[in-house]
């Protein structure tokens, strides 16, 4: 049984398919943050994410007649955003970044709140984003859809036009890559600490 929110969404979709811009504006408002967040996680900076979000909604409106009501609208709209971001990265020929480059990427303003909590949250967000930018576009997309949007393997496969086995393979590969990058980052940070010794110095003791 559909919830009231789901029924309202389907009404907006039906009205938007008839050219009702007001109804489509409601859909944009409902999905603006999820689409923007996906674009930001994929592209790594605010301006590109905003541009990608706008392009996603433009494409969604242009192709609204192709939407199948039996499919989740969230999956459909995020699929459009996903393909646009991957295509954008390919055009830029920058599927991933070095750690130093990733650290220079701009981040959205931190939410208001306790200064210490805000700083800690921003630091954690910075680190996650740096690590994400080390992955290739499709692996990065799979990680974002799985962990940030809670999509199942089959839903990700549908959104990315992939097989379930390919999705599982990308997740496994991404986990290994992120774990390795995180370990290397921790080791680099430890070497920069005052009084820290290099492995060669430790062996010589």
Looking at the predicted structure, is the pLDDT value of residue 134 above 60?
Answer: yes
Question: Does the predicted model carry a pTM greater than 0.85?
Answer: no
Task: Confirm whether 203 is domain-assigned.
Answer: no
Q: Judge contact between 135 and 178, C-beta under 8 A.
A: yes
The answer to whether residue 188 is domain-embedded is yes
Kindly indicate the confidence band of residue 158, based on its pLDDT and cuts at 50, 70 and 90: very high
Asked if residue 176 lies in contact with residue 168, where contact means CB atoms within 8 angstroms, the answer is no
pLDDT digits (tens, 9 = 90+) for 42-95: 998 999 999 999 999 999 999 999 999 889 999 999 999 999 999 999 887 654
And the tokens for 151? 């999509």
Question: Is 199 among the domain residues?
Answer: no
- pLDDT tens profile 162-174: 999 999 999 999 9
User: Does 158 map to a domain?
Assistant: yes
The Cα 81–Cα 56 span in angstroms is 5
Domain carrying residue 172: 4-194
The reported pLDDT for the residue numbered 15 is 96
Note whether residue 127 is domain-resident.
yes
Q: What is the CATH number of the domain that holds 68?
A: 1.10.1740.10
Q: Is 201 within the bounds of a domain?
A: no
Alpha helices in the chain (DSSP H): 4-17, 21-43, 46-62, 73-92, 99-103, 115-132, 137-143, 153-160, 164-192, 199-203
Identify whether 112 is part of a domain: yes
Tokens of 102: 């990733």
202 lies in a domain?
no
For residue 80, the model assigns a pLDDT of 96
Q: Total domain count for the chain? A: 1
Q: Per the structure block, which two tokens stand in for 48?
A: 């590109």
């Amino acid at each position: 049984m559909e919830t009231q929110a789901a029924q309202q969404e389907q009404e907006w979709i039906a009205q938007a398919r008839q050219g009702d811009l007001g109804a489509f504006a409601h859909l944009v408002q409902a999905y603006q943050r999820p689409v923007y967040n996906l674009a930001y996680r994929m592209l790594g900076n605010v301006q590109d994410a905003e541009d990608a979000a706008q392009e996603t909604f433009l494409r969604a409106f242009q192709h609204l007649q192709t939407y199948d009501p039996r499919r989740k609208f969230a999956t459909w709209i995020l699929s459009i955003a996903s393909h646009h971001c991957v295509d954008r990265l390919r055009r830029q020929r920058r599927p991933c970044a070095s750690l130093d480059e990733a650290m220079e990427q701009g981040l959205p303003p931190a939410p208001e709140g306790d200064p210490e909590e805000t700083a800690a949250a921003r630091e954690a967000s910075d680190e996650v984003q740096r690590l994400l930018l080390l992955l290739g576009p499709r692996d990065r997309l799979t990680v974002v859809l799985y962990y940030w949007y809670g999509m199942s393997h089959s839903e990700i496969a549908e959104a990315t036009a992939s097989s379930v086995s390919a999705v599982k393979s990308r997740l496994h590969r991404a986990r290994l890559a992120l774990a390795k990058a995180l370990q290397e980052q921790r080791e680099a940070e430890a070497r920069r600490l005052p009084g820290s010794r290099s492995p060669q110095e430790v062996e010589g003791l």
